[in-house]
Amino acid sequence: MCRRPDVEVDPFEILRLQLRLGAIADQVRALERDANVYARAHHLEATTNAYDALLAEACMLAGVDRDPHARGDAERFREEVELTARGWSW
């Protein structure tokens, strides 16, 4: 699922999404560092799922092809690299 190349995307929408990606990425890193968080595994899973959902939205806006059934660190890394190659940062 990728967007059509002739569809104009609002640059502010992209910026908002990049800011949200950065905030969620910070939360994931904080949870990974803090072993004393109550229900850490649950919070880490929920936050990682939110990050993956934002990555999927970013891929759609940037025209990155993605396999909706692929999951995990390798797919997440591939999507991050593809977005970075297209000028995205967070």
Give domain status of residue 69, yes or no: yes
Give domain status of residue 6, yes or no: no
CA triplet 52, 31, 38: central angle to 5 degrees?
120
What does the pLDDT look like over 33-90, one tens digit per residue? 999 999 999 999 999 999 999 999 999 999 999 988 888 999 999 999 999 999 999 9
Angle between helix 73-85 and 40-62 (nearest 10): 40
Q: For the chain, how many structural domains are there in total?
A: 1
What does the pLDDT look like over 1-35, one tens digit per residue? 444 556 688 999 999 999 999 999 999 999 999 99
pLDDT the model gives residue 17: 97
Give domain status of residue 79, yes or no: yes
Give domain status of residue 90, yes or no: no
Q: What residue numbers bound the domain in which 31 lies?
A: 11-85
Give domain status of residue 2, yes or no: no
Dihedral sign for Cα 38, 39, 40, 44, please. Answer: negative
